Amino acid sequence: MSIPRHVINIWKKPRQAIGGTSGAPVYNEGLQAQYTAYAYEHTYLAVGGADTARCTVAVTPLEGDEIYWNYVGNRVTITVDNPIAPIFEGYIESVAIADGATKRVRSIADMANAVSVTYFAGGASAQATMATDAASVAEYGTKQKTFDAGNKNASGAAFATALRNRKLADLAQPLESFAPNSGGGFSIDITMKGLYHTFDWLSFEVSNTTFAYAPPAAPATLEDANVCVARFVLGEGLLPDVFTNPNGSSTTGNGNGIFYNDLDASSPFITTAAGWSRTKERRGGQTASQYLQETVEAGDGTNRRVIGITSTNFSTGLRTIYYVAANTDVEYTTDPAGTSRILDTYSKPVRAWVVRPDRQIRIVNASVGRSFAGTNTKYISKVQYKSESQEIIWTTESDLTLDGTLGIGTYTKTAGSAANSAQPRQFY
């Protein structure tokens, strides 16, 4: 089987690639490096889009150090057969180098350049002012983390402030870890996250009284769920009284937003009411991503919703947020011959690296007269792709994992991997 070349393109860090003010952004994208990506694999989710990816690259130890020290946090795209349409876009979360007897990892997964601490003061919850490391913010964008000090002593505020400052000093730069390398030799492994994960970088408590609005005219505490989502992800030029986002257009120097253009009036966004209301408050260090996840997954109570950040538009150089109704179109079918291929609705093979979730797939079978219990179309909520085997693992909304070989003449498939799962589960 011929495996097409996968290429990892490393660009500037998103914060360093943009400047200017809201409505007048300045872009300075720049390709920093390009390598063949070996053992590449990625995961896409219906809610969030591009989720995670990883690959190895064949470089010299000197080049490996260049990647290790300079490219953690950089924007990255993976391309295969179309250089202007990446199959994955995100940022480098970590770089691991195995060299001789030692494996070292440099990562921004637990990095935090804006730190706060919650604590109890007089029987009530309080939060220390967010402290930031300006140099780190200027390089990576704002990555917040909230710690809980509990009710340690009568001087809760003083303790919280000291803990905040200590944590900021420890976490403001990418963290390194070391472990034995049992395999020996030299290798470099790159782990990536989709840009939607940057909503997990925002953990400061949010309420009508503890978090600034732009402009500062706090609306009602309880609002329709769709409006709550909008106040977290859109810029103030599109919606009054949005929450200020340190990585968004409301912060001077971020242009129209670091990770996506939050002032794009053409952003695909649901404007009709969800039909249920919730508070906009985030408490106890809950991240924006966690808040959005639980809100979006509830949909309108009947129908699904999906959210994510688009890939960079080749013509405009911009990315945008989308929050839309889930796709109900049947775009894929399984191969009735029992292969692991995914076919389109015309029975033509779909390139494995472009298969995506948020589609319906029709499960077909070559056995004449064999029928399925219930419907034979399913909504795909997750897709995993592995380049070396050209394997697609897809998951339905009920977490029934299918790894391609459905078995001619049968209507059940083992959940999990074929090698380790013996209990068959029927399609519902």
Considering the domain architecture, whether residues 58 and 190 belong to the same structural domain is answered as yes
Domain that holds residue 406: 330-426
Q: Pairing mode, if any, of strands 360-362 and 342-343?
A: unpaired
**Do 61 and 186 reside in the same domain of the chain?**
yes
91 near 76, Cβ under 8 Å? Answer: yes
For residues 101 and 31, membership in a common domain is answered with yes
The pLDDT of residue 14 is: 94
pLDDT tens string 371-409: 455 568 889 999 999 999 998 998 887 654 443 333 322
Q: Which residue has the higher pLDDT, 26 or 6?
A: 6
| 3-state SS class at 134 | helix
Q: Kindly state whether residues 26 and 59 are assigned to the same domain.
A: yes
Query: 225-233 and 288-298 are packed helices; what angle lies between their axes, rounded to 10 degrees?
Result: 150
Question: Is residue 264 assigned to a domain?
Answer: no
Residue 360, CB-side half-sphere exposure with 13 Å CA sphere = 13
Tell me, yes or no, whether 134 lies in a domain: yes
- Examine the domain organization and report whether 23 and 65 are in the same domain: yes
For residue 121, tell me if it sits in a domain: yes
79 inside domain: yes
Count other Cβ atoms within 10 Å, centred on residue 349. Answer: 11
Q: How confident is the model at residue 335 (pLDDT cuts 50, 70, 90)?
A: confident
**DSSP state, residue 121:** E
Output the DSSP codes for 185-242: SEEEEEEEEEGGGGGGG--S-B-TTTS-EESS----SEEEHHHHHHHHHS-TTTSTTE
Band of residue 42 on the pLDDT scale cut at 50, 70, 90: very high
Structure tokens at 340: 């692991």
Whether residue 146 is found in the same domain as residue 46: no
The dihedral of CA 237, 239, 242, 245: what is its sign? negative
Average pLDDT, the chain: 84
Q: Evaluate whether 91 touches 74 at the Cβ level (below 8 Å).
A: yes
- Kindly state the DSSP code that residue 282 receives in the 8-state scheme: B
The tokens for 62 are: 């000197």
Q: Let me know if residue 164 belongs to a domain.
A: yes
Domain-embedded: residue 225 = no
pLDDT tens-place string over residues 115-172: 998 887 776 777 888 899 999 999 999 999 998 887 655 567 888 899 999 999 999 9
- Is residue 288 a contact partner of residue 347, using CB atoms and an 8 Å limit? no
What SS3 class is residue 269? strand
For 401-428, b/e burial (b = at least 16 CB within 10 A) is bbbbebeeeebebbbeeeeeeeeeeebe
Q: Averaged over 13-31, what is the pLDDT? A: 87
pTM of this structure: 0.88
**% pLDDT > 70, the chain:** 84
Asked if residue 185 and residue 142 are part of one domain, the reply reads: no
163 and 36 both lie in a single domain: no
Q: How far apart are CA 218 and CA 212, in angstroms?
A: 8
